[in-house]
Amino acid sequence: MPFAQIYMLEGRTEEQKRAVIEKVTQALNEAVGAPKENIRVWIQDVPKENWGIAGVSAKDLGR
């Protein structure tokens, strides 16, 4: 059972998350032949203050 774990900065809409789940599922299905019913996708929203880029939080960078 393929399991995709995706970390993204918070702020994406439900529609965007649905699109990610759909596209990742499709990609795994095509790449490894796993049945869609067996593919799991987990999106983890990360608060901007908990995401660092070049030593600075994404929040402080205005992301």
Q: Are 29 and 36 in contact (CB under 8 A)?
A: yes
Q: Say which of 1, 2, 21, 60 is annotated catalytic.
A: 2
Dist. CA 51–CA 62, nearest whole Å:
12
Give yes or no: 35 in active site. no
Q: Are 21 and 43 in contact (CB under 8 A)?
A: yes
Show which residues are catalytic: 2
